Amino acid sequence: MARTFETVDEYIAAADPSAREALTRLRETIHAAVPDAPEKVRYDMPAIAVAEKHWLHFAAWKRHVGMYPVSRLEPELEERIRPFRTTTSTVKFPLAAPIPFELVGEVARALAATAS
């Protein structure tokens, strides 16, 4: 996706069909975990404010969807997210495997709690 998007809906609609459901569910899961959080497009990808100054971004790629930035979490939660962590602040979920949406919600809640 090399174009610029005004809204999260536009971004999701333009995504490859193989990623649309994952993006929609990520969005719904983060909003369920952090109710009333504003969203917008930042850095050409969807972002949801999980705290006043902490935006959780998510994006679709050819073979995965990613979330950024995901800072270090409490040890138990960090252990569970570790299989999906690729860098200090990046989490990737392969599109070819089930995405652990419950875990995504826990991560969003944890980020909101620590960033507040």
pLDDT, one tens digit per residue, over 4-22 is: 899 999 999 999 999 999 9
Residue 112: its pLDDT value, please?
Answer: 93
Helices and strands (H, E) in the chain, number of each type: 4, 5
pLDDT reading at 98 higher than 60: yes
Residue 51: its pLDDT value, please?
Answer: 84
Query: Which uninterrupted H or E stretch holds 41?
Result: strand 39-42
Residue 2: its pLDDT value, please?
Answer: 61
**Which of 51, 47, 108, 52 minimizes the C-alpha distance to 81?**
108
pTM for the complete prediction?
Answer: 0.93
CATH code assigned to 8-115: 3.90.1150.200
pLDDT reading at 59 higher than 70: yes
